[in-house]
Chain A
């Protein structure tokens, strides 16, 4: 698992690649919230390179989304792949990660 950060014009894009499963959610959680200052107003998530995703992974993303929403910041998925789409659709959570989602 790898997490890359890139900030352009106030929007931070986080690119996740590799597995996002129970085996590394703790690590990923730490990276995501590494430094509260790094949580900017707008965070876009690129999941197109995620190779494996399980319930723990989805849960982490949901929690991150909630944490952002609680402090009125946006967190959305900008790119994904077939695997991620399929799981999001199955759990009916895709709408939560849409760009204009207020959930």
Chain B
């Protein structure tokens, strides 16, 4: 690997870290005051600085170093991260991003960029530590050590190499045949159980005591090399109805205070138990608990206990630092461990693998076919089991390309925050289904359409504050991004609680732009679909947020190029919801092999509802429409639309397909069965061809065409529609004639 490759890795890593940093900063802005969040931001800055230093990217190092210093002070509790600091840290993060981007393009920052950096650093100034307060700690230590009131036995700290486990079992445990003693005994096989304190504080009154119910809890000190998982596993069978807290070795005092607060028993007594095994003394604990309560009362926030202890001068900085240092090491080790769980792979290599697996799938079909011809039962059996594995390999390979959509959604947090500020609106972004996965290549292509819709929703959807109050809506508008899987598809929803679409205005505009005829009768749904028509923007004012030339028609085209569909529901004054439906992947599909004449076609399996003999269904008079259990389903013949020469006397079959809410039938000559297909995109010459989405090789080596079900359904429905219109026109003409 040459240096350039490593540099690329740095850029990729920096991107990820900056994203993590951004989302952590946004979380803090939403009121997340967790120490771990500050740590996360700090670590991101720290890692970027460190790696940038390796490559001699001095501009990045110089700027990030100062940001890191401020974050370090925040982490130590010397300064508080409040909204005024956050509003500088976010642009600082953007500036680092800009510096990284500059480095990627091998260019030095221009004057404007330098100015931006200097301005930001100047703004950070109030939070930067002066030299005096860095020296401030030393007199404190002296003072504390000379203070006879608190004598800390330092040797006891070393002994906190132990796990602390706190258990409150469910009352029914004994009756269910479990004996906590056996769990405690099992723990001793994981390491050395230093101490178990039995908590017998929850006994009920005499009359209510049931000897078969369990009222005991245990505080356990365990010295062990076992992993958290191993320890958790010991409680596997009782975890459901018990409260179990496991505190890893060298955790800070804060975790213990949190534990004490969460447990039902007397804090004092629990504190005593902890005092038995840990560094804190009774007095320290008591002072800290009291101070924490006091502070929580006055500030509504729980301060880091370590700081309180320092402030109270009951514990030396040295000890807190030592503890923090140890903690930091653990945290770093942990992150290192999680990083090892991922391997960065070149996307091109992955694509190659998927292609090869595609070929494997095709070849397997050929082998299948030959084996069937030979009819050797042993061979057939072997091939069936091989087929099983090929399928599993295919599925596993496809999941390699799958990524959670959450990362894409996360990006919108910042977009919404900034845009809302620009627009002077209060907008909240809610995200659900972030863990839903889809093909990586789709995620990338989804970005622009989503961005466009979200921007539209913020700009035109969410009303101004005054109007919202008038409509009795909450001050803050809500935009919701959702994702879920549905029958081989992913459905992404973007909804807002804004003004909704004005059907009448869309209609007027469409008439004005000659998109529709003035007396054309369109359903509500069809009118909504008009906003995807090129050159139809309903916003009367084109702002710089939306309406920058990329229209909704481009959004629709983008989605359709991914074999997807977009739908709108909207109610005036209530809100609008866009639903985007996409296939999970475009690479390999489960298909259904059909043919007309000697041409083979593949229908994507997930669109098929059923296959029926065409003649067994009742036809609607004069139309290409069948009556399927009371529902009228329009159909098309592949023979007709692709102008194929075939014999007419075959017993035709109809494959009923569905896409979104729409159904249609595809009439073919014969059905051959399920088949796994590797989708090969059509060559550029055929790209404009309607009704065909791609091609694929069959096991026989023959080419088969993959039907574009969405287009075919649209085609069938349109044709029936036109025919109906013609029909009603004729009826009308006839009526007119007879009237005259």
A→B interface (CB under 8 Å): 22, 25-26, 28-29, 33, 54-56, 58-60, 62-63, 66-67, 87, 90-93
Contacts and interface: CB of A to CB of B under 8 A. Distances in A.
Contact of A55 (B180, B193, B195, B206): B180
B164 to A, nearest CB: 15
Contact of A28 (B197, B203, B211): B211
Interface in B377-426: none
B57 interface: no
B179 interface: yes
Interface stretch (B90-98, B212-220, B438-446, B558-566): B212-220
A90 to B, nearest CB: 6
B200 interface: yes
B216 A55 contact: yes
B216 A59 contact: yes
B714 to A, nearest CB: 69
Contacts of B206: 33, 67
A13 B184 CA distance: 31
25 contacts: A22-B175, A26-B211, A26-B212, A29-B211, A54-B179, A55-B174, A55-B214, A56-B179, A56-B212, A58-B181, A59-B200, A59-B211, A62-B200, A62-B203, A63-B203, A63-B211, A87-B181, A90-B184, A90-B193, A91-B184, A91-B218, A92-B195, A92-B197, A93-B198, A93-B200
Interface residues of B, number: 21
Contacts of A58: 181, 198, 216
A66 B198 CA distance: 14
Contacts of A59: 200, 211, 214-216
B196 interface: yes
Given A22-B174, A63-B203, A67-B206, A56 B198 contact: no
Interface in B217-237: 218
B55 interface: no
B181 A54 contact: yes
Interface of B: 174-175, 179-181, 184, 193, 195-198, 200, 203, 206, 209, 211-212, 214-216, 218
Name which of A26, A63, A87 has the most chain B CB atoms within 10 A of its CB: A63
Contacts of A92: 195-198
Contact of A25 (B184, B195, B200, B211): B211
Name which of B174, B211, B215 has the most chain A CB atoms within 10 A of its CB: B211
A59 B211 CA distance: 8
A29 to B, nearest CB: 4
Contacts of A55: 174, 179-181, 214, 216
Contacts of A62: 198, 200, 203, 216
Closest 8 CB pairs of A and B: A25-B211, A29-B211, A91-B198, A62-B200, A55-B180, A54-B179, A22-B174, A55-B181
Nearest to A36: B206
Nearest to A32: B211
Nearest to A66: B203
A60 B193 CA distance: 24
A66 B203 CA distance: 9
A55 B263 CA distance: 21
A22 B212 CA distance: 6
B211 A56 contact: yes
B127 to A, nearest CB: 48
Contacts of A33: 206
Contacts of B214: 55-56, 59
A70 B174 CA distance: 26
Contacts of A87: 181
Contacts of A66: 200, 203
Given A22-B179, A55-B216, A90-B184, A63 B198 contact: no
B126 to A, nearest CB: 52
Contacts of B198: 58, 62, 91-93
A87 B198 CA distance: 11
B182 to A, nearest CB: 8
Contact of B196 (A22, A63, A90): A90
Contacts of A60: 211
B212 A25 contact: yes
Contacts of B211: 25-26, 28-29, 56, 59-60, 63
A87 B180 CA distance: 12
Contacts of A22: 174-175, 179, 212
A91 B198 CA distance: 6
A38 to B, nearest CB: 15
Contacts of B184: 90-91
Contacts of A29: 209, 211
Name which of A25, A59, A67, A91 has the most chain B CB atoms within 10 A of its CB: A59
Contacts of B174: 22, 55-56
Nearest to A61: B200
A14 B200 CA distance: 23
Nearest to A56: B174
Contacts of B196: 90-92
Nearest to B273: A92
Nearest to B218: A91
A79 B206 CA distance: 26
B215 to A, nearest CB: 7
B69 to A, nearest CB: 47
A22 B210 CA distance: 11
A66 B193 CA distance: 26
A93 B181 CA distance: 13
B665 to A, nearest CB: 67
A63 to B, nearest CB: 5
Nearest to B195: A92
A22 B181 CA distance: 12
Nearest to B210: A26
Name which of A22, A58, A67 has the most chain B CB atoms within 10 A of its CB: A22
Name which of B175, B216, B218 has the most chain A CB atoms within 10 A of its CB: B216
B270 to A, nearest CB: 15
A91 B167 CA distance: 13
B544 to A, nearest CB: 70
A55 B238 CA distance: 15
B200 to A, nearest CB: 5
Nearest to A24: B211
A65 to B, nearest CB: 9
Contacts of B195: 92
A98 to B, nearest CB: 15
Name which of A25, A62, A90 has the most chain B CB atoms within 10 A of its CB: A90
Nearest to A27: B211
A96 to B, nearest CB: 8
Contacts of A63: 200, 203, 209, 211, 215
Name which of A55, A58, A67, A93 has the most chain B CB atoms within 10 A of its CB: A55
Contacts of A56: 174, 179, 211-212, 214
Nearest to B276: A92
Nearest to A60: B211
Nearest to B209: A63
A103 to B, nearest CB: 9
Contacts of B175: 22
Nearest to A59: B216
Contacts of B209: 29, 63
B598 to A, nearest CB: 77
A92 B216 CA distance: 13
